[in-house]
């Protein structure tokens, strides 16, 4: 057995590939990785030098997955190999699934995570951060628009999630208007009205202002987006 590594209690089956993640060994079916991910498919097809054993066939020579946390991998496996004894998948767990499915090009798993997470009430700044980090385009502008509409000001937590530059630009978008409760018959009013009183921007559509103020950031995020 790999020195200091322990077999994971939940995901060490009588199967055909062994991974080492964060000091734990996981023995799981190879097929879902090979069929679901181009990254793993290419990995499994790498030639093995003469006289050398292929990685992943025993505990002493596992496939090492670097740069990820053990718990993240377990959350991913919890969705890949569901079992009755597992609890309902939480937002934190789905976030790990989204992260790893993007990292490893598990397209079907990524789409599943996006679809499920789209039904969960996620705070707007967090959802915008997830959209940026994991290239979920359809979340980005709606989440930023919700942040612009929100009564509460930009917070320290928002800055930590979005970064100082984006948070400051979103603060500028928010300060561009104070809206009343009035809603025109033809739909939501656009930003550009300034009224004295308590901030209530629930009927304001800030999308155009966001696209103008964050033009360079949006271009950069789209450049890095997954096709």
Asked if 128 and 112 sit in the same domain, the reply is no
Q: How far apart are CA 215 and CA 84, in angstroms?
A: 47
Q: Mean pLDDT across the stretch 28-40?
A: 95
Name the least confident of 24-28, 44-48, 214-218. Answer: 44-48
Question: Does position 41 have pLDDT exceeding 70, yes or no?
Answer: yes
**pTM for the model:** 0.84
| Residue 153 shares a structural domain with residue 66 | no
Model confidence pLDDT, tens digit, residues 44-71: 988 877 667 788 989 999 999 999 999 9
Check pLDDT > 60 for residue 19: yes
Is pLDDT of 107 > 60? yes
- Which residue in this structure is represented by tokens 């030639």? 47
User: At 21, which CATH number?
Assistant: 3.30.710.10
Most confident of 36-50, 77-91, 102-116: 102-116
Helix (H) or strand (E) holding 18: strand 17-21
State how many domains the chain has: 2
In a domain, 1, yes or no: no
Examine the domain organization and report whether 98 and 63 are in the same domain: yes
Q: Which residues contact 180 (CB under 8 A, 6 or more apart)?
A: 193, 195, 197, 200
Q: Is the dihedral of CA 131, 134, 87, 72 positive or negative?
A: negative
Residue with tokens 């994971």: 8
**β-bridge pairing 189-190 and 63-64:** unpaired
Give me the domain span that covers residue 193.
124-223
Token reading at 97: 């699934």
Where is pLDDT greater, at 205 or 52? 205
């Amino acid at each position: 057995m790999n020195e200091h590594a322990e077999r994971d209690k939940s995901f060490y089956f009588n199967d055909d590939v062994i991974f080492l993640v964060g000091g734990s060994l996981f023995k799981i079916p190879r097929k879902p990785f090979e069929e679901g991910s181009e990254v793993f498919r290419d990995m499994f097809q790498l030639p093995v030098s003469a006289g050398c054993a292929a990685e992943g066939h025993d505990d002493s020579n596992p496939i090492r997955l670097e740069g990820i946390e053990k718990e993240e991998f377990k959350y991913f496996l919890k969705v890949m190999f569901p079992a009755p004894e597992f609890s309902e998948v939480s937002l934190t767990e789905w976030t790990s699934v989204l992260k790893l499915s993007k990292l490893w090009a598990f397209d079907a798993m990524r789409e599943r995570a996006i679809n499920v997470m789209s039904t969960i009430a996620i705070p707007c700044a967090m959802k915008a951060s997830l959209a940026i980090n994991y290239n979920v385009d359809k979340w980005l502008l709606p989440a930023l628009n919700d942040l612009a509409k929100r009564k509460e000001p930009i917070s320290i937590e928002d800055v930590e999630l979005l970064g100082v530059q984006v948070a400051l630009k979103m603060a500028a978008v928010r300060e561009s208007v104070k809206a009343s409760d009035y809603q025109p018959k033809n739909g939501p009013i656009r930003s550009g009205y300034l009224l004295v009183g308590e901030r209530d921007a629930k009927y304001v559509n800030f999308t155009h202002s966001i696209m103008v103020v964050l033009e360079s950031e949006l271009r950069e995020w789209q450049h890095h987006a997954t096709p």
